[in-house]
Amino acid sequence: MLKKTFRRWWDLRLQIALLGLAVTAAWGVRQTQGAAMFEAYNWVTRPFHANGSGQEQLILARTQELQAQVLELETQNQKLKELLGYVSAKKTKGVVAPIIGRSADHWWQQVTLGRGSNDGIKTDFTVMGSGGLVGRVVSVTPNTSLVLLISDPTSQLGVGITRTRHMGFMRGKGKNQAVMEFFDNVPNVKPGDVVSTSSFSQLFPAGLSVGKVVSVDLNKTPAPEAVIEFSAPMNSLEWAVVYPHNKQAEQKAYEAQTSAPERGVGKK
């Protein structure tokens, strides 16, 4: 009997103690706003959070990479459309070639094309961009072609002012501009005039677009000069079109084209 009474007393005391502990814990959580439990939860689940964050970063990085690739493809597609539009407007069939090599040390001097003799390209073929003349082929392998750009300081060609037919020769300046030196002492030229290859050029066909006049210095010695800005995007070339160059046939065609208006005037 005494043993049972003691056991009931002990159970009652244990229940009271557990109730008191629960009340104390609840009061502590309320006072600290659950900070201790939150820290304990973070400590237990931190490995899972770290893995989740890393996975999200990987997904974000991959998404950004894919977006960049899509943007690059869209840009390439637009440039190819412009170039193919230029090609379709030309009567002579050309070889479309990608720029596969361009050294930072020779950025304005030369580029390497991803087409060569296997595609019918030969030395001295003319290379055009979407805006105009780019350069000429100086060496060829079965699958590549080295192009000397007209922006190279060693590159010189005969050019003329389309509006007035004043002639001269042009040399590159190692950037997106060139200098034209006139044959005439007082040429009729002004900023904005269009410049094209002339019949005096031995390396390129006549009548190819080169660029436009940016500035003129008529007092320059030994001959007046004009600064020419290239019409082709020399700084950002990615594609080009290569055309055969037959000097004699092109010279005859150019002379026939330029003399036709004069014959028309004489008949009136």
Residues 158 and 54: their CA atoms lie apart, in Å, by: 62
Pair of tokens at residue 261 = 């208006």
Beta-bridge partners for 180: 170, 226
Q: Check pLDDT > 60 for residue 39.
A: no
Question: Which CATH class, in words, describes the domain spanning 95-249?
Answer: mainly beta
Domain boundaries, the chain: 2-33, 95-249
Q: With bands split at pLDDT 50, 70 and 90, how would you rate the model's confidence at 201?
A: confident
Check: CB of residue 242 under 8 Å from CB of residue 144.
no
* pLDDT interval class at 113 (50, 70, 90): very high
Within 10 Å of residue 236's Cβ, how many Cβ atoms? 10
The highest-confidence range among 86-95, 131-140, 231-240, by mean pLDDT, is 131-140
Condensed to tens digits (0 to 9), the pLDDT of residues 204-231 reads: 988 899 999 999 999 988 899 999 999 9
Exposure letters 85-123 (e unless 16+ CB within 10 A, then b): ebbeeeeeebbebebeebeeeeebbbbbbebbeebebee
Segment 64-109, tens digit of pLDDT: 666 666 665 666 566 555 655 555 555 567 899 999 999 988 999 9
pLDDT value for 66:
67
pLDDT exceeds 80 at position 45: no
